[in-house]
Structures are given as C-alpha cells and as structure tokens.
Structure 1
Amino acid sequence: MRYFISFKNTFLLLFFLVISCGNGHQQKKEGTHTENNGVDISEKIVVGANQTNEYLPLLKNKKVGIVANQTSVLFKKDGKHTHLVDSLLGLGIAVEKIFSPEHGFRGKADAGEHVKGNKDTKTGLSIVSLYGKSRKPDAEQLKDLDIVVFDIQDVGVRFYTYTSTLHLVMEACAENNVPLIVLDRPNPNASYVDGPMLEMAHTSFLGKIPIPLVYGLTIGEYGKMLNGEHWLANGVQCDLTVIPVKNYTHQSNYSLPIRPSPNLPNDQSIALYPSLGFFEGTHINAGRGTEFQFQRYGAPFLDKNYFTFTYTPKPNFGSKSPKHQDEVCYGEDLSHIEAPKMVSMKWVIKAYQHCTDKPNFFRTSSFTLHAGTEKLQEQIESGLTNEEIRASWQKDLDSFKKIRKKYLIYD
C-alpha cells in the first residue's frame, strides 16, 4: 500500500519530524520543590512519541485508539510540547477515541478516585475511563479500532498503576485481535531492581504479576515481559510494537518535564516514592495535602518528643481529603536529603518504633497489597532492621533479574 498524504499534512509531517529530535532531560536539582518546566535538548534523549517517522506509517489509514494522559506529549526544541492526540489529528491520523488511566486524561483526579468517561473539550473525542466502572477495554469499545497506541509516563514502581493499565490493555487487544503500539519513555527509577516480590495470593490493581517493587524496566520493556512470560490472562499474547527511546540507558538521569500524577511533583518525590509509598498502607500521612508529597511523613500520634518537624495537611490539588486533614502531624522532612537508589524501609520502621498507637499504625489489607506480601508487616512488627528486611529479598531479586534480562532494550 502506498504511503500517501495531502500537501498540508506533508508539511505538518515534516515539521514534526524536525522536532522529533527535541526531547532531553534536566539534571536533578537537590531540594527543589517546584515542577520541572522544560527539557534540555542538548542531552538528546528522544522519547518514542517524538519518533513520528517510526510509527506514523503504522497508523496511516487506520482507525486509532489512544491510551494517554497529560504526559503523552511530543517535545519541541524550545522546551514546549504538543499533546500526542493533537499532533496525530493535525497529521491527518484518524484518532477515534481516547482511553484514560488513573487520574484521568488531564491527570487531575486524586489517587484512587474513580474517573468517569466523558469528552475531551478540545477535540470532541470521547474518553473511555480505565479507572472507573471498568479498568479493561471491552470488545465493544475496541470493535471499531484497527490499532491502539499506548503512551504514558511510568515511574518504575509496582504499585504505581499505569503498568496495570498497560497489562489490561494488552489483554484486551490480544483477545480482540487489535495490534498495540507502545511509545516508550525513560523510567526515572530504572537504574536498580529492589523491594519485596509480589506473591500471587496478593494480586490487585496495585500489582498483577510476580515482580519486585522496583523492576528496572521502561514501560516498553515491561510490555515485552508481559508477552514473553505469558503473564496475560490465559497466556494470550498481544501483537505488540515498541518504539524505543533513543540515546537512553537505564543509568541515564532523566528528570520528568511533566509531573506524571498529581502527587509526584518533582525528582525528589519520584526518587523517594518507592520507599515512602509504603505509608499509603498505613495511617501515616506521606505528604499528601502539602506541596511536598512523598518527601515527608507524619501523623498526630507519632512521638512529638522524638519528631520535632511538624506540618498540617490541607486539601489541595490531587488530595481533596488527605490523611489527618487540619491536624498537626509530627514526622520527618526528607525534601533535602540525597534519595537512595534503593527501597529503604528505615522510615517506615522509624515511624512504627516511635508511634504512640502501634495497634492502629497499619491498614493491614492495604499495606499487604502495597507490599505484595504479608511478610513485610510481620518483619516490621517483629523488630527486624532495614538491613535484615532487605537481605530477605535477595533470593527473589536474583531470580527476577534473570527474567528481566531477556526483555531489556537498553543497557
């Protein structure tokens, strides 16, 4: 089939091919508390979405569905960006509908908040929520599509739900014979593999497959692993194409230019998220209701003689009803520390040891789903140290690394 495009769309195509070299990253700035506003194109990391010449031929004359949110953008040389949906429509691609993950298409909903389907006011396209009544596209929603494109920024932590959305989208596409393209993006936590392994008895939307908390894969590599290990339902395999990131390795320092969700505002929060995210399964506030999400923790019932740092959570963007709203919380500020490239239990252990109401520290069912195992709570309650807990993960981590190696696209 000949690849034909009108004069107007040819001009637009050439324009976007020119800007496809325009994505890079900023160096991390310690202690910053503001959202990053641009990209340093001198670093020359090029995300999959910017490589239009690689995937436009696959979309030509096709009815296309897009799984996207606010991070699904093409970067320009001036540091600005254009949303993938707008770019494809401008290039004459027949985008038929949008599928949105947790937090919605524009990324404004609270964590765990169900998102209703609606229409995008800019394009008029219908939006199908994958975080509402259903989290998996059904046959009716896919029947008029020839192909689906998935483009969402991940942060490489198992209980961050975008990989679960990819999992279910791949299953749906496989079951309905619809090809899927993943436009890959760097993982800011890809330089290490760590944390407790998920046990299949504790699967949920916070973790669907037996992997450690931090898995060291981009979302494209993750999709390859789902296929290769037959981890989709009934062992189905998706017709998957990954558009890789250029000039990227797992050791690249990549600063996200757009916050991937409302409560991950900067590099520090993203780096500490693997460790402080465990507080989501407790009655401890992890900075929600402040501008330092996942950079502090506290509660009214932590020992105020031990913890001298205080803050008071208030409703804000991404957290309409934070834990301990309007209460003084005693805890610790981690916004200026050098975040470790590992999963550390020391802060959860410290909070538990200095809690004045230990029986009400854990929300046990939620903590188990976040950890992927009942063992972690038992280890903390029994007084194991951070080092002893981390050592207990090693055998499982070694086994997973052998699986992971088969699906690596990048060094």
Structure 2
Amino acid sequence: MKNDTNNTVIDLTSNSDGDDNTLPAFLPDPTDKSYEKPEKLQNRIKLIELIKEKIDDDKLYICLDIEAFERNHDFLTEFGWCIFKKNGEVIKKKHAIVEENKNYRNGRYVPDNRDYFKFGESQYEKLEDIYKELKNDFDKVNYLVGHGINNDIRFLKKIKVDVSKFKKMNSGSKIDDYGIIETMDLFSGYFLKKPVGLQKSLIKLEIQYDKLHNAGNDAYYTMQVFLEIIKRFDFSSNRLYEQIMNYKPPKKIKSNNNKNNKIMNNNNTISTSNNGGVGNSSIANDETDQGRNDRTIIGNSNDSEKSINNNTLNYQSGGNNNKNYNKNNRSNNKDNEGGNNTKNNVKKNGQRRNNGKQQRNLNKKKSYSYPRSNRHNNNYNNSNNLKV
C-alpha cells in the first residue's frame, strides 16, 4: 500500500479481476484530474523501460537548468549542468553566473538563491565563455535531460547553442543515439500521475533538497530524480503497469461520429426532396452536401431533376403533384401579398382617421379661440342694427 500526496491510498500491488482491458479502478474517474490519460501513461511506461533496459551504461547524460531574470527572460543569469552515467557516476558539476547580467537578481516572483550552490563553487563567467564550454560538453554526451526541458532549450536557442542533434525520446522500440529526456514524463509514468514540478517530484521520491532555483542545484536534483526513477522502476513488480499496458483505447471515435452524421444528413436530404418541399433540410444549410445529394438523386431517378438557383430549391417533375404544388405556391404568394396589402391599407385608414380626428379637434379649438369681449361686441352691434 502507498499513500500519495492527496491522502488517498492506492494499492500498487493489487490484482483487479476481469479481462485484460480493464483499467485500474482509480484511473477512469473523470472527476479526478490528478491522473493522466491511459494512452499517455502507456508511452511513459515504455520510455522508462527503454531507458532502463536498452541504453548502454557507458552512455553519457547531461542534465541542464537555466535561470533567467524574472521580469525579462531575455537576460539569462545562471547556467547549471552536470554530466553523469546511468549507474549514478557523476563526471562533472557546474554552476556559472553570467557576468554581464549579474545585476539582474530575482526575489520578487522567484527565490534568489544564486549564491547558494550546494555541490561545488559558483563561477562568474561571460556568456560567450559559458556558451563555448556548454557546446563542448554537448559534443561529448548522448542524452540531454531536464525537468521542463523545453524552457531550457528555448533559452539555448537565444544564445545560438545548437541542440538539433538531440531528438525528443518517444516510446518506440528504437533508441536514438542522441535524445532528449523529460523527467516530468518519467515521474508521470512511474507514479501513474500527471507531471508535476521539480519540488513535488523530490518530495514524492523522498529526496532531500535545499535552495531550489539555483541553476546548479536544480540540475543536480533533476539528475537525482532521473536516477531514482530508473533505479526503482520494475515493471513486473506492479500489476497496475500491466493493466495499463494491456488497455486498448477506442479507435477513431470522432471519425465514426462524423460518418454517422453524414449518413443522417444524406437521409434527411433525400426524404425532404422526395416530399417536394424545402423545409429545414440539410440542403439549405450545406452547399457541399447539396451537390452530393443532387448527384445521388439524379442518378437514381429518371423522372426528376434538381437545380439550385440563388440558394432556392426548385423541384421540377412531369407529375401533376408538382404542378399543383407550384400553383399552390403561387396562390399562397398572392394570398401573402394580399394580406400584406390589407395590413398596409388598415394602417393607412387608421392614419387617416387619426388625422381627421386631429383636424376636427383643431377646428373646435379655433372656434372657441375668440376673446369673450369680442363676442359681446359683435352681439351688441347686431342688436343695434335690428333696432334701426
């Protein structure tokens, strides 16, 4: 029994019942994001096996780590590397501080442990001299090792260090003479987990460490992670490795779904066209499928043709049903036009009524707009005239 960092107990030696295609019980749980996909685990288990069993003990490895200024990664500040063999023999340990960038110190986002190299003495050197020494050591070794090695390779390209001879190691049966080994993949394959950072890897493997983010220290600790996994790994001692390797993932699920979708679209298109209506068929949505379905219908029927003109499907045939269908369409169109005209007439009549009401209201207001004094004067004048 083994207790992982999530306080969940995993039995690494148990044998689950069932056929060989059954995965360990903890892997298929989609809610547990700490585990990797079985297909990736298979490749990483194979990679550990190949390194352990098929690479000669005399081959040389170089483990590399590069530190950069936390606020601008164009300024490389430290280089650390060590050369070793698979049996644990360490040939060289190196920690170089870039002379021209010594004033760029970390500490806000990344710990500043530049002055605490634990496995030798640090040296201040110019970037050009570091480049020459590193290039010379690359010519001696067969395998480039790192924890998050892609970042280090990107930094190497900035200073024009050629690493093109090293190829990323895969799980194939062939071992290249020059390869790149990612220790995060080794950790994932050994513990059947997703890859983690260097510190968590050291804790999981119970390796003592101190003053990380010193390039020399990180390179040395990465080498220890590599050696410890290679030493501990034993495929036959763990039934879970065999279960995962025997697992056969489903093949081409997406492509099968696409084929089924195409078949369904074709069936919908043919059934819609046979009914003589456009509807919401796939023909109106996919011009590519239109062409395919048109050719299919024409090839299978001598009485009908289909032509697409300005994204409108006109179905012509010698049958009376289609003529009636066209007549009905014309009558429907006329009805629609008549309905639209009726609506417009209603709107216009309503506007006229409203205008008439407004005009009458204005006239009423005008009739009562005279002052009362004037009306009295007029009446007075009329009365005088009558008297005369």
TM-score normalised according to structure 1 size: 0.22
Higher fraction of helix:
2
TM-score normalised according to structure 2 size: 0.23
Asked which structure has the greater CA Rg, the reply is 2
